[in-house]
Amino acid sequence: MIVGLDHVQIAAPAACEQAARAFYGELLGLVELPKPPALRARGGVWFELPDGRQLHVGVEAPFAPARKAHPALALQSPAALEQLAGELARRGHAPRWDEELPGARRCYVEDPFGNRLELLAHVR
């Protein structure tokens, strides 16, 4: 039986590690996890979210960004989302706001590889 979600993987091109660390680690604030030795040669980077789940950036060849499929990363508050969206915009990742989900403030943004990410904060 399924008991939960362990991780989500996002595809990226070869030699993506530096850009993935800058975006997911430095900009989004995710903590990098060491990859198991047997998987390091494949490339990519793994990150941990505050709830213990993981986001893996894995190398795919040939690479094509996910324009529709996406992970949705939750922020602690609408104010935190606004702050992150501003920083993303300042760094060249312009958020696209979507007001259609009741009870949430959300936007979409592309990672350095063109993959779609949703950032949202539930409004209480």
Name 105's bridge partners.
121
Helix residue spans in the chain (DSSP H): 17-20, 37-40, 78-90
Using one digit for the tens of pLDDT, what is the confidence trace for 53-80? 999 999 999 999 999 999 999 999 999 9
User: Would you state the pLDDT for residue 2?
Assistant: 87
- Ordered by where they begin, the domains of the chain are 7-122 (3.10.180.10)
Roughly how many angstroms between the first and final C-alpha of the chain, as a whole number?
A: 32
For residue 124, the model assigns a pLDDT of 77
- Provide the pLDDT for residue 80: 95
